[in-house]
Structure 1
């Protein structure tokens, strides 16, 4: 199968895994993306907000006979989704959840409201504008100040009291304020088939995080985490005909009282997903089976407990 990955950046481990049985084409808006040296073919493309972006990607899909397009950058998701039919016309399947799911996941305020409406435990969250208008709202500190459409650790601030909060948000817009939960952090790697059925769930304990991306992680067979994640995705699917398709990663924290509190949903491959590959979930083969129309039986919990220790490597160019 021929796969196109967008915004490949440093996603070398993901590319190496998919290349085992697939031809992988990569694109990026920059010439200095390290992962360009690991794909089978690379193309430099305009930024996703450029008016020609979709046409360029379509052209690559057509010329390279791409079977499956897998976007990795949140800000392009809705753009690509709105052109899903165009990719289908050139024989390319867009591996991306429905637009309604994307609207929930790409906006952290929408995610919070989805959690609350479905009785999914989550930290108390406020709109920045709400706090600016009513500075007497009772808030439990410390808090995290996040962009509504943020990714990783970019643009995140912390406040330990009211004065710090008001000072920090004075010049901000488009943010949420979320009560900070202390505890053990987990990322749940999930994959759904084209009908939204969950095929696999791998909970990864985040042992160490650097610049918003996990550097040390452990795959754990925590049945409670698996069950609540399955329940969450089922609610995401059942609500108003939404459908989760392909990869997603869900962030949660288990606090000191053992309560699981969900933080966010990302409808894409997470940076630490290579651990799930090595633990036994062969995403490359799953993608091939899906495109060929083969029915895949769920193997939730069918993985090995394994620890991943990541390190930096380098590519040298002249």
Structure 2
């Protein structure tokens, strides 16, 4: 009989990420972890607080030293941390070793990988130099050929204040609204997300590609898993080169000639990544297993034989007072 272990799991920046919280809870049950899901967010009125066992109105990480944060984790009996927002990744990646030395495991890539993924210009420079088909990214429109353009913030989430399919004049005007703008050529085609899990030893455990059929604020509201081994293999090669760890999401455009154009990599669990869990990419379970020293070779990636379409929609949750 599987031993039940009382360990708490912290999920940060929970916002309204209810499906993610539910997925973490399922993985805990599968692992035999009987502890609590502790959800943290700066917004004390966030929706996610109603879907966790304990809510922590956590201040911004800049208010903590790593020693203070670890001390709080010890008091709350937190053994696992799952960051879900780009802005938190540098803190957790920088101190990942310090957390592990205190018996706390964080699902985050190393500092160098996170730094490259969160800087779109560096992402382009590093990966294009190795021959990967990354969308050209510059600080000046003069460095790009004539055509339509995309303008976005250099750092953090790509969908924040993005300008799409702009003329040169429109692109320059849009750039004035941003803190650190970068420019890219607009590439027509179909956009895909690729969820994958990289193990602690730097090997891919599994990958699932999916369409982005309806996108709101950079997040797929309708997404469908597909089979495209060539696309998955390319993203696996990128993840391996960057030495990612845990769950990550790649964004790729396939143009009308079938060519790949890598847009970005989010080194964390994505808003619509739960559909890939349904397809067999058991990221949270694998994270818990690895953190306990279990060899994942005994837990194969079993890809669903049926493709999955996910429709994200608001739902009502009524509680008695």
**TM-score calculated relative to the size of structure 2:** 0.88
- 1:218-245 Cα shifts (integer Å, max 9, x gaps): 01111111211122222223xxxxxx11
- 1:205-227 Cα shifts (integer Å, max 9, x gaps): 11111122110000111111121
2:150 corresponding residue in structure 1: 144
Aligned pair partner of 1:312 in 307, 311, 314: 314
Aligned pair partner of 1:65 in 69, 73, 77: 77
- How far apart, in 2, do the equivalents of 1:82 and 1:189 lie? 23
Query: Aligned in 2, Cα 1:54/1:42: closer, same or farther, shift over 3 Å?
Result: farther
- How far apart, in 1, do the equivalents of 2:44 and 2:177 lie? 34
- How far apart, in 2, do the equivalents of 1:28 and 1:83 lie? 20
Given the alignment of the two structures, is residue 79 of structure 1 paired with residue 81 of structure 2, yes or no? Answer: no
Between 1:34-43 and 1:57-66, the stretch displaced more is 57-66
Over the aligned positions, Cα root-mean-square deviation in angstroms equals 2.1
Given the alignment of the two structures, is residue 37 of structure 1 paired with residue 43 of structure 2, yes or no? Answer: no
Kept in 2, the 8 Å contact 1:71–1:96? The answer is yes
- How far apart, in 2, do the equivalents of 1:292 and 1:150 lie? 31
- How far apart, in 2, do the equivalents of 1:79 and 1:206 lie? 30
Instruction: Quote how far apart the aligned CAs of 1:42 are.
Output: 1.3
Instruction: Quote how far apart the aligned CAs of 1:175 are.
Output: 1.3
- How far apart, in 1, do the equivalents of 2:158 and 2:128 lie? 23
Instruction: Quote how far apart the aligned CAs of 1:57 are.
Output: 3.5
Kept in 2, the 8 Å contact 1:61–1:90? The answer is no
Q: Please list every run of at least 4 consecutive aligned residues from structure 1 whose deviation after the TM superposition is greater than 6 angstroms.
A: none
1:156 corresponding residue in structure 2: 162
- How far apart, in 1, do the equivalents of 2:13 and 2:272 lie? 16
Kept in 1, the 8 Å contact 2:193–2:252? The answer is yes
Instruction: Quote how far apart the aligned CAs of 1:162 are.
Output: 2.0
2:173 corresponding residue in structure 1: 167
- How far apart, in 2, do the equivalents of 1:286 and 1:299 lie? 10
Query: Aligned in 2, Cα 1:250/1:184: closer, same or farther, shift over 3 Å?
Result: same
- 1:33-68 Cα shifts (integer Å, max 9, x gaps): 111111122111112233x37455323311222221
Kept in 2, the 8 Å contact 1:7–1:28? The answer is yes
Aligned pair partner of 1:113 in 114, 125, 150: 125
Between 1:196-205 and 1:150-159, the stretch displaced more is 150-159
- How far apart, in 2, do the equivalents of 1:56 and 1:315 lie? 35
Give the SS at the match of 2:253: strand
- How far apart, in 2, do the equivalents of 1:170 and 1:268 lie? 29
How many residue pairs were aligned?
305
- How far apart, in 1, do the equivalents of 2:179 and 2:285 lie? 43
Aligned pair partner of 1:203 in 204, 209, 212: 209
Instruction: Quote how far apart the aligned CAs of 1:300 are.
Output: 5.7
1:241 corresponding residue in structure 2: none
2:111 corresponding residue in structure 1: 99
- How far apart, in 1, do the equivalents of 2:166 and 2:292 lie? 53
Give the SS at the match of 1:265: strand
Kept in 1, the 8 Å contact 2:144–2:185? The answer is no
- 1:249-298 Cα shifts (integer Å, max 9, x gaps): 01001100000110001110011111011122233422232122121138
Kept in 1, the 8 Å contact 2:196–2:281? The answer is no
Between 1:89-98 and 1:248-257, the stretch displaced more is 89-98
2:16 corresponding residue in structure 1: 10
Give the SS at the match of 1:280: coil
- How far apart, in 2, do the equivalents of 1:283 and 1:252 lie? 21
